[in-house]
Every structure is written in structure tokens, then in C-alpha cells.
Amino acid sequence: MESIDGSRAEIVVQLLTRIEALCANSSSRVLIGIAGCPGAGKTTLTKLLLDGIPEAAWVPMDGFHLSDAVLTDRGTLDRKGAPDTFDTEGYFSALQRIKAGREDVYVPSFDRDLEQPIAAGLRVPVEAKVVISEGNYLLLARDEWDRIHQLFDQVWFVDTPPELRISRLVNRHMRYGKPPQFAREWVQEVDEANAALIEEDAQSADLLVPFD
């Protein structure tokens, strides 16, 4: 797997150059995936890239979280964030329409205050030349996720030191209202279990991106 290095600003410039080259060599819309473990900085990196790309759009995988009501019915609320707690069929269908590039596509966003998906929270306009989608499981070697992986022109893996990721996650959970002890337990028992799954298939990424 190829990797890059440098300061955060230098890495962003290198990635923007790669996207520009992909666009120059493609007659159709370019779809980039940003994968990584919880707390790796995927959304931060995505927003930095979007700031540097004219006519770009964002599709967060988190928007395809199943709602708490559905997870409660399925008995999986205590594992929220695991691979089977997402609407993979809906995500795949949306990315197919986006890849085709024939129409505006509305996709769900994710409200971190509510910790719930928001239907049609984001628009991917037909004129967008580049679409970036970031999420934990874009490289997961399971059938329902592998076909999602195949829709991307490239998927990049954000590699962040575990201690930094964990600190970010605990702080994030507390910022959105979880008590400190609960936040730490959730990170260790749920987020880090998911991180172990994600890291198993990281080698299938097109590019390793250090980001701290």
C-alpha cells in the first residue's frame, strides 16, 4: 500500500493534487472514499479537502446510521456504530446514483447533538465533479461493504495513533453529553472493538494517509 507523509498542510496539498490528476484522467465524476477507525480524523480531513476543491460534494457514511428506534427494535442499540447498525443497502443505492451523475441526489446527514441521521440533510448537485464520502467501513471485507468499496475510484485510509484517537473519542462523547466513565467504557468496549475490525482490512486501501 502506498503512503504519503508531511505536515497536515502538506498532506492536504498532496491529496488535492491526486484528486486533480484523477479528474484529469476521468470523463466522469470522481468518487473518493476516506476510511479509518473511529476518531481518526476522517471528517476533519474531508472538510479540508472539500475547501480546496471547486464543485465538490460530501456524503458522510454516518448519515446511514440506523435510528435509535430501529436499533432498539433490533436489540443492537448497545453496539451502535458496528457494521450491522448501518443501512448498507441505502448507502450503496445512494452512491450508485451519485456515481452515475445524472441528477441531484439528496442524502442523509448526521446530527451529533441528537446522535441521529437527518433525512435529505445534504444535496449532491449534478454539477459536482468530485464527491467525497468518509466512514469507518469502506474497506471492510464483507459482501455488503465490498460492493460499496467497488464504487469508489479510490479509498484512502487515515492512520492516526491509537492514543490520540481514543482521547478524541472520549472527549467527543463527553462533549455530546455522556458522563466521563460511560464515555471511557463506550470507547473501550464499542469503538475500539470496531477499530480492530477496520484495521484488519486497512491494507486494501489505495493510499495510507497519516493524520494527527
Can you give the length of the chain in residues?
A: 212
Q: What is the pLDDT along the chain (212 residues), one digit of tens a residue?
A: 899 999 999 999 999 999 999 999 999 999 999 999 999 999 999 999 999 999 999 999 999 999 999 999 999 999 999 999 999 999 999 999 999 999 999 999 999 999 999 999 999 999 999 999 999 999 999 999 999 999 999 999 999 999 999 999 999 999 999 999 999 999 999 999 999 999 999 999 999 999 98
**How far is residue 86 from each of residues 12, 13, 150, measured CA to CA in Å?**
29, 32, 18
- pLDDT recorded at residue 1: 85
Among residues 79, 83, 112, 84, the alpha carbon closest in space to that of 189 is found at: 79
How does DSSP classify residue 173?
A: H
Phi first, then psi: what are they for 85, rounded to 5°?
-105, 15
Residues 98, 59 contacting (CB under 8 angstroms): yes
Q: Of all residues in the chain, what percent are helix, strand and coil, respectively (each to 5)? A: 50, 20, 30
**How far is residue 44 from each of residues 48, 100, 102, 201, measured CA to CA in Å?**
6, 27, 29, 22
- pLDDT recorded at residue 143: 96
- pLDDT recorded at residue 212: 86
Query: What is d(CA 197, CA 45) in angstroms, rounded to the nearest whole number?
Result: 22
Instruction: List Cβ neighbours of 7 (8 Å cut-off, separation of 6 or more).
Output: none
Q: Is the dihedral of CA 47, 51, 53, 55 positive or negative?
A: positive
Q: Which domains does the chain have, with CATH numbers?
A: 2-161+202-210 (3.40.50.300)
Cell match 464527491: residue?
Answer: 131
